[in-house]
Structure 1
Amino acid sequence: MQWYVAKGECFLREMLIDSIRVSLMNYQRVVILKAKDADRYLPIWIGASEADAIAVKLQDVAISRPLTHDLLGSVINSLGAKVNGIVVSDLDQDTFYAKVILAIDGDTMEVDSRPSDAIALAVRTSAPIFANESVLDKAGVDMDAETGKPKQLSNSNQRAPLREEELKSLSAFTEFVSTLDLDDLGETKSDEGDSGDQPVES
């Protein structure tokens, strides 16, 4: 990921897929990413079909025909390209954004993507998953080492102050996170899955 860092977006943290869950509020699927080197989590609201696509691969479910993300991976491979990694790059106006980093013919390029599609592609290509530290600062959930329970979302350590509309959005995001059963974070709990990666409904 040196190329991505060289562009100035250097605060990247490698993430792992912890689980796929369902919000108790509206039964929306949520993919939970966990920092590889810390008890820090990032919930991202995703569509049911994307949740299915991720869960099918994680559970090694055999399917008779390729899904959309299987096809995309095959096309990339057929063109001689490789997925170097994916990055959850931004959270703006209630929406998560991601980039797929491709290597092809000695060059590196980035492709805009929804996080759900990028993650579904990453699990099919064994590509690492990263999150911009600024996204974790806005929407990450930290675990309390003493209680083992999630801490409240806080923006006290933000690198830059949030706009008023962002603060309102994150307040709603906190309410959304409170509808999830997060007490067993770190344990495998996949749900087999309207598209979109919005943490809150506007």
Structure 2
Amino acid sequence: MTEMVEVMIDSVRVSLTNQQRIVLLRELDVERYLPIWIGPYEAEAITISLQEIEIARPQTHDLLIQTLEKLQARLTRIEVVALRGDVFYGNLVIESANQSISIDARPSDSIALAVRAHVPILVARDILQTAGITPEPDMQQESDETALEHSSEQETTESRERLSVFEEFLQNVELDDKKDDKSVDDPSDDDPLNPLQ
């Protein structure tokens, strides 16, 4: 039997280069991470549940949890059991009528369900050893120091760029059009707190 390791969701991220979503799983006892590429809908489903955002109507993953409850079954855990090529494979482990049933499922959907059902996320140890990422302490410290050094330079450059865009916008605004437009709020109209009246 494969040895399983419990992990938690560290974060859901978006790649800046290609806008792909990644769920980053982290081992509980060791600083080792497992990145799994996921679709935008699954990323949204995971994020909504992690942030406990209330939605008016149930999403697909909410619907499945509710269906299990109505059938007097419950999700007990999810497992990431295999990695073939670049594709992760997972299982939903469901308990129903005193039986444990394992159902093949994509890890992204499984994780979205685990967050809703508050059940453990388990990953096969060999997957963590193969695809897991352990940050090197020296690299982490250097990257933190470098980030601090360059952050103020970057913030200044970004601020200048934003200001130049704002300046261009202001130069293109025609004040005459605004005077004739009655839909634009004029702060001087009937404002008892306005000292310019």
TM-score between the two structures when normalised by the length of structure 2: 0.69
Take 1:95 and 1:66, find their aligned partners in 2: how far apart are those partners? 28
Question: Matched residue pairs, number?
Answer: 142
Match of 1:97 among 78, 84, 89: 89
Q: CA deviation at 1:50?
A: 0.3
Question: Could you tell me which residue of structure 1 aligns to residue 80 of structure 2?
Answer: 88
Question: Which SS does the other structure have where 1:138 is aligned?
Answer: helix
Q: CA deviation at 1:146?
A: 4.4
Q: CA deviation at 1:86?
A: 0.3
Q: CA deviation at 1:138?
A: 1.6
Question: Which SS does the other structure have where 1:142 is aligned?
Answer: coil
Runs of 4+ in 1 over 4 A off after TM superposition: none
Which structure would you say has the larger RCO, counting Cα contacts within 8 Å and 6 or more residues apart? Answer: 1
**Greater helix proportion:** 2
Take 2:79 and 2:124, find their aligned partners in 1: how far apart are those partners? 7
Match of 1:50 among 20, 36, 42: 42
Take 2:93 and 2:80, find their aligned partners in 1: how far apart are those partners? 11
Question: Which SS does the other structure have where 2:53 is aligned?
Answer: coil
Take 1:104 and 1:62, find their aligned partners in 2: how far apart are those partners? 28
AA partner of residue 42 (structure 1): L
Match of 2:52 among 57, 60, 78: 60
Question: Which SS does the other structure have where 1:17 is aligned?
Answer: strand
TM-score between the two structures when normalised by the length of structure 1: 0.68
Take 1:44 and 1:144, find their aligned partners in 2: how far apart are those partners? 20
Question: Would you say 1:113 and 2:101 are equivalent positions?
Answer: no
Take 2:41 and 2:125, find their aligned partners in 1: how far apart are those partners? 27
- Identity among equivalent positions (%) equals 42
Partner deviation per Cα, 1:63-102 (whole Å, 9 max, x = no partner): 0000000000001111111111001111102201100111
In the TM superposition, 1:131-170 aligns within 5 A as 131-148=123-140
Question: Could you tell me which residue of structure 2 aligns to residue 33 of structure 1?
Answer: 25
Unaligned runs of 5+ in 2: 142-146, 148-197
AA partner of residue 68 (structure 2): I
Take 1:141 and 1:27, find their aligned partners in 2: how far apart are those partners? 21
AA partner of residue 77 (structure 1): E
Over the aligned positions, Cα root-mean-square deviation in angstroms equals 1.4
Unaligned runs of 5+ in 1: 1-7, 150-182, 184-202
In the TM superposition, 1:177-196 aligns within 5 A as none
Question: Which SS does the other structure have where 1:57 is aligned?
Answer: helix
